Amino acid sequence: MRILGLILAGGKSDKLGALVSKRTSAAVPVFGKYRAIDFTLSNMVNAGINKVGVLTQYNPRSLMDHLGSGKEWDLDRKNGGLFLLQPYLSKHDEYWYRGTADAIYQNMTLLRRGEESHVLIGSGDHIYKIDFTRVFDFHISTRADITLLVKKMDSSYDLSQYGIVELSGTRIVSIEEKPQKPKSNIAFLGIYFLRKQLLMELLYSFVPSGEHDLLNIIISNLNKLNIQAFVFDGYWRNIKKGITEYLRINMDILNKQIRKELFYNYGKIYTKLKDFPPPKIGLNARVVNSVVSDGCIVNGKVENSVLFRGAVVKAGSTVRRSLIMQESTIEEGALVENAILDKEVIVRQQMKLVGENLPSVVEKRTVL
């Protein structure tokens, strides 16, 4: 089975505020040295997919710089490889992507010219680890036309923000988009697997007539196609759900079990390499339950936090439950608590930055 991977990575998400003022949500940094897109892309590569198209739109520069030629994911190759797909002006069309179905439809050439039999579609801003070969086997064994990944959500998820699924066995009988009163706790995770020819037929049938969302197209065909649900029972989070959710996801990496699941099961998570030295922890520093990445220099106190590459915490300063992104500096005597500092932020001496109900977010290259 030859499979084409497609990653939807053009979203903005206003809920992330300053973090997406200069980057798409798929390029938002996570866990010290990764970007959100690394997880879906690595999952595909680990499953043997060697041809991946990344559909970009909003502020793509940071994402394109991160992905480059795809070398870190072994996608810099003659056959297959990495394709960055952006909206463009042509003689007949002048559209931005108007939805998930329209984004794929405008890049139909990639599907038509390829020799792949199936297509795996995922989102670039979801954090999870999965063996996709299990999904492929399930799809074949159930003789599905389309397989959707779903998950039984616990109380930590807001079900009104997801597509809610009802099942008969493993077959999907209804999907309701963002209901105020959900009929179940089973949510669709935004991951599709289907035959390429079927995908092309659906897009040609619906997109020209004005339906631009892929999930809506599938909902309208629930009674005509065998649409199966693969129930995923691992860790899965969506960074687009807001600043609080984004901080929570990064704090989750401090949990040993979640860290093991994301980084040790089913292959590696690949990312762009950078030449930083090992972190340096001073004699009088105190680091408790935190991630300290390459190039960091810590001489103060760091508790329950994530320090990204090259972050500096000087003597006498304290960082608690915060994210300090690449090459940001906390100067002597400063306090940072319940906050998210984007890249190259400087917190001056004796400054106090404390998020009350919501995390405080400081935009890139700000001096406080």
Dist CA 137 CA 228 (whole Å):
12
pLDDT in tens, 142-157: 999 999 999 999 999 9
For helices 37-46 and 132-141, angle between their N-to-C axes, nearest 10 degrees: 60
Rounded to 5, what percent of the chain is helix, strand, coil?
A: 25, 30, 45
What are the residue ranges of CATH 3.90.550.10 in the chain? 3-264
Distance CA 229, CA 192 (A): 10
* Residues 98, 104, 105, 106, CA torsion sign: positive
Residue 241 backbone dihedrals phi, psi, to 5 degrees:
-75, -5
- Phi, psi torsion values for 12, nearest 5 degrees: -105, -60
pLDDT in tens, 9-42: 988 778 899 999 989 999 999 999 999 999 999 9
Query: Is pLDDT at 92 greater than 70 in this prediction?
Result: no
Per-residue pLDDT tens digits for 264-319: 999 999 999 999 999 999 999 999 999 999 999 999 999 999 999 999 999 999 99
Rounded CA separation 273/258 (Å):
23
Q: How many CB atoms lie within 10 A of CB 99?
A: 17
- For residue 29, give Cα distances in angstroms to 17, 326, 342: 14, 9, 9
Task: Give the other-Cβ count within 10 Å of 286's Cβ.
Answer: 14
3-state secondary structure of 70: coil
Q: Return the percentage of the chain with pLDDT > 70, whole number.
A: 98
Q: What's the whole-number mean pLDDT along residues 244-259? A: 96
Q: What is the CATH number of domain 3-264?
A: 3.90.550.10
DSSP assignment, residue 81?
Answer: E
Block residue for tokens 């499953």: 47
Domain covering 280-362 in this structure, CATH number: 2.160.10.10
pLDDT of residue 271: 97
Q: Residue 89 has what pLDDT?
A: 66
**Alpha carbon of residue 181 to chain centroid:** 27
Q: What is the mean pLDDT of residues 253-266?
A: 95
Q: HSE (CB half, 13 Å, CA atoms) of 318?
A: 10
Are residues 361 and 340 in contact, defined by beta-carbon separation less than 8 angstroms? yes
Q: What are the tens digits of pLDDT across the range 32-72?
A: 999 999 999 999 999 999 999 999 988 899 999 999 999 99
pLDDT tens figures, 95-106: 688 889 999 999
Q: Give ranges for CATH 2.160.10.10 in the chain.
A: 280-362
Mean pLDDT over 193-218 rounds to 96
User: What's this model's pTM, rounded to 2 decimal places?
Assistant: 0.95
CB 153 within 8 A of CB 146: no
Give the pLDDT mean for 194-212.
96
Segment holding 21, helix H or strand E? none
Quote the CA–CA distance of 43 and 128 in Å, as a whole number.
Answer: 9
DSSP 147-214: EEEEEE--TTS-GGGSEEEEEETTEEEEEEES-SS-S-SEEEEEEEEEEHHHHHHHHHHHGGGT---H
pLDDT band of 93, cuts 50, 70, 90:
low
The sign of the torsion formed by the CA atoms of 80, 192, 107, 89 equals negative
